[in-house]
Every structure is written in structure tokens, then in C-alpha cells.
Structure 1
Amino acid sequence: MDNFFRVEVISQTPNPQQVIYAALHQDYSDTFVYDERDHFPSEEECGEIIIKRLLAGGRGHYGPMEHPQIVFNCGYFPHSVMQQARTHRVGVSFDCQSFRYTGKGIARLGLELKLALSKYQNLTDCLQNSPELKDHLERTIYLRPVGKYRDRQGKSYKYAEDDLLDDLVECARLVINYSNKLESGLSEEHARGLLPFDYRQHFVVSFNVRSLMHFLDMRAPANAQLEIQQMCKLILPHFLRWTPAIASWYLSHRYTRAKLAP
């Protein structure tokens, strides 16, 4: 997994399994369930009730799970991940870092690279002899790690250290060009078109329990892009801590199985 990818929780509904319990209980109760809130089953017991009444045996009653919300801050993911993630809009909201306004960090990196070029013969030497500069570049522009991969037709190939270095050098040239264009007066929204496609972006995304499972259904299976699979893996520990009974059931019955999303 890429060393820079991050998923952190900004906020979440407390006692989410009790909230779902209250919703399903109201469906079948002629009482005003708010008045019973001090006598609700425990969070753990509510989780067991949800599995039994809503999920087990293929029941698929997902409606009550639309009430609790969790908000994630996702960081350092390539632009291609954001493109895929934002296609899931039902019960999901996104706010994404815009490079119309946030290109100053990349411009500074361009200046650092130009300064390094005054000390070394070429960009290859710069990156090979300056680990901090190489780290800064890899934190800014995403390239897949060295390793073995398969294309969409199943053909295997190797991405070697030399390949990565060559591609980092090309990315460095584009970052320097971006910095030069800003200096010449281009706007950030104009100059960003000159950057490598997979510059890293941060975004905030909110899910309810149902839409979170839908997202994982669609983007965790092995046929999804590797980077968004890794995003799903980083989401899972938060899901398990937040709604342990539901998340455990999900892992056992749906996760990576490419079932039709609820």
C-alpha cells in the first residue's frame, strides 16, 4: 500500500446501531420511540437485533441504515481515485481539494527542483542524491510502487526501479514547467492541465451506513482499481469500530464479493 494514503474520521453519529434500532423499532411500534430511548437495548444488543431483523438470511432491509452518518477525510490519493469515488452519489457527499486554488505547494516543489538542478547535472541525479526531494515529489504526484501488476486483460508485467525513476524524472519536469507557467502569469486553473494526471488530492466524504456498504461493494472487489481498493481497506477499521456488528456481518457476507450493491 502507498505510504502516504490516509483515511481519518472527522465526525460520526454516536451510538449508530441504537439509531438504526430506533428507526426499525418505529416502523413496527405505535409508541413514540423517543420516549423509550432510556430503555433501548445496548449498542451491542442493537447490533445483534439489526443483523437478525434486517440483514440475516438475505432480508436486505437497508432503509433504517440510512440514518447514521460518518465523515472521512481522505488524503494523498491520486486524482483517478477521486474520479471513481465521486460517481457514487446516493447518500454520499464530497468536497474535494481544487487545484484552481491550491497549487502553491506544487509551485514551491518546482522551485526546489530548479534549485537542485543548479547542484547536479540533471534531474535523475537530483532525485537519486536527494531523498527528501524525491519524497516530496512522491508525496505530490502519485506513481504506483515498484512491483508486479496485471493489465485489464490479465497480462502480467513488472514495474521496476528504473521505470519508477524514469517516470519520476518526467513528473519532475512537468512540475518545474507548472511552476514556470505560474511565474509567467498563467492562472492555477490553466496551468494545472500541464501536471501529471495523478496529482494527489485530499477530500472529505460523508456516508450513511447503507451508502458506505454500497461504496465498498463497488470499489473493494479485485476488479476495482488498486488504489481505490486500498482506500476501502483504510476505511474498514473505522467501519468496524463505528458499527462493529454490521461491519463484521458485512465482512463475512459481502466484502470483495462483487455482489449487487444494496
Structure 2
Amino acid sequence: QVEVRNLNGNSFDNRLENFVWGSSKENKIDNIRNNSFSCNGGVFVGIESIEKFGKEITYDIEVEHPEHNFIANGLVVHNSFDVQSYRYCSGKVIAVAEGKEDIETAFYLRPVGEYSDRQGKKYYYSAEQREQDLQWCLEAAKKYKLDLELGMSEEHARGKIPFDYRQHFVVSFNCRSLLHFLDLRFKKNAQLEIQKLCELMWPHVQDWVPNIAEWYEKNRLGKGKLSP
């Protein structure tokens, strides 16, 4: 199969002298020779230099407008999803390790009470078990702090932190994707916390798309179950 080759590896260079017929293999050789690789109309080029500027505070923009859109350099930017990474908000864990914050400001544990798994097996989460888990979270926070002090990277050290670490996240949906999310997470045997989140979201869905919400509540809401 014959293809058009860009001799300098730049698919945006439309000068006639940059075009020649060739094969896919020759195109790849051109890309390697020119250290550039075309991808969906864009071009990857080699790094010319790297300069270190040390550590500085950076900021993320979130928009209050319902569409979460803003214009930057002529491009529409959409903060469709944002979640705090352990490495960017580890201060809460360190504050717990140092005794400056209560354990539950950084970690979430379910309240004492009766629960069941997805197969319906019931169990009781006792006050004693919960206290043991809180202490385990505290020890993990101390180990995390120590690892950082010894020079370990945040990405490596965070492996010690329990998954019940509290996080803040922002997510946006269109109607179709939101209903798909509810299909998966507003089911009778979905994880308890995600069901509670869906319960909090549902009144907003009713305000946003009342006719669709009425149909969904009648036909689909909470009627399915996740596979065992």
C-alpha cells in the first residue's frame, strides 16, 4: 500500500518538496530519523532541553458555571473530572501522624452497626473492631510520614495508606452518562457509600431533567442488582 511520506516527519508541513510516495515502513523510518511521531493529526517532537525550577505552588481552576467550561487561549477547557491524589494532599495524613488532627479527619470508617455483603451475608461491625481499625490507620499514617522523611517518593509511600483515606473529587455528567452511572451504582447491592452518594444526587437529577427522572424512577431506579 502506497502512502504519502512527510520527509521531515511534520504532517503539517504541506510544502510539495516535503511530499513523496512511500510505504508505511518508510513513514516509520522517517519518524524515527526525525524523532517525531504523528498521532491523530498532532506531532510528537523530541525534547530539546529540561530546566529545573524547584518546587512551586500550582493551582487548578474550577468553574462554578453549571457547564464547567471556560476559554483558555481560544480553546474550550472543561474540568470534567478532578480528584485529589494522595501525593497532593498528604498533609492531612501527616497531621494525623503528628497528633495535630483527629484520625477521622483523614480516614473514613463506617459507623458501628449491622451490615451485609453483596451476597446478603450479615455481619456486625463492633466498636472494638472500629477502634482497632482506627489505630491501624494511625500506624499507617506514622509509617507514611517516616517514609517521606527518609526520602521515599509520595507515589511509593502512599502504598501504606488505607483505601479509606478521605478524598475530594469533582465530576460532571451529561444525562446519558449520569443514568448509566445510576444504573451501576444505585442498585440494591452496590457498595453502601456509593448508594448514599446516589441518594444525595437524585434530587438534583429530578430538578435538572424532571420528565426523564420520573420515567427512570418508575422503570429503572434501584431495580437492578450487581452480579455476585
For the aligned pair, the TM-score class normalised by the smaller chain equals 0.5 to 0.7
Q: Which residue of 2 aligns with 1:102?
A: 89
Matched to 1:189, the amino acid is: E
Aligned pairs for 1:99-248 (under 5 A) are 99-112=86-99, 133=101, 136-248=102-214
Aligned pairs for 1:30-49 (under 5 A) are none
Q: CA deviation at 1:170?
A: 1.0
Q: Distance in 2 between matches of 1:250 and 1:11?
A: 26
Change (3 A) 1:234 1:196: same
Matched to 1:109, the amino acid is: V
The higher radius of gyration belongs to: 2
Give TM-score, length-normalised by structure 2.
Answer: 0.61
Q: CA deviation at 1:220?
A: 0.3
Deviations 1:125-180 (A, max 9, x none): xxxxxxxx5xx322311212211111233221100111111110111111111112
Contact 2:93 2:141 in 1 (8 A): yes
User: For 1:158, what is the secondary structure of its paired residue?
Assistant: strand
Count matched residues: 155
* Identical-residue share of aligned pairs (%): 50
Contact 1:107 1:182 in 2 (8 A): no
Q: CA deviation at 1:186?
A: 1.6
Q: CA deviation at 1:259?
A: 8.3
Matched to 1:167, the amino acid is: D
Contact 1:142 1:200 in 2 (8 A): yes
Deviations 1:171-223 (A, max 9, x none): 11111111122222222111100111221222121110111111101110112
Matched to 2:87, the amino acid is: R
Matched to 2:105, the amino acid is: R
Give TM-score, length-normalised by structure 1.
Answer: 0.54
Aligned pairs for 1:73-112 (under 5 A) are 93-112=80-99
Q: Distance in 1 between matches of 2:152 and 2:196?
A: 35
Q: Distance in 2 between matches of 1:11 and 1:254?
A: 30
User: For 1:239, what is the secondary structure of its paired residue?
Assistant: helix
What is the root-mean-square deviation of aligned Cα atoms in Å? 2.6
Contact 2:97 2:142 in 1 (8 A): yes
Query: Which structure shows the higher helix fraction?
Result: 1
Runs of 5+ consecutive residues of structure 2 not aligned to the other structure:
1-62, 70-78
Q: Where in structure 1 do 4 or more consecutive aligned residues deviate above 3 Å?
A: none
Runs of 5+ consecutive residues of structure 1 not aligned to the other structure:
1-8, 14-68, 71-91, 114-132
Q: Distance in 1 between matches of 2:86 and 2:219?
A: 40
User: For 1:157, what is the secondary structure of its paired residue?
Assistant: strand
Name the structure, 1 or 2, with higher relative contact order (CA <8 Å, separation 6+): 1
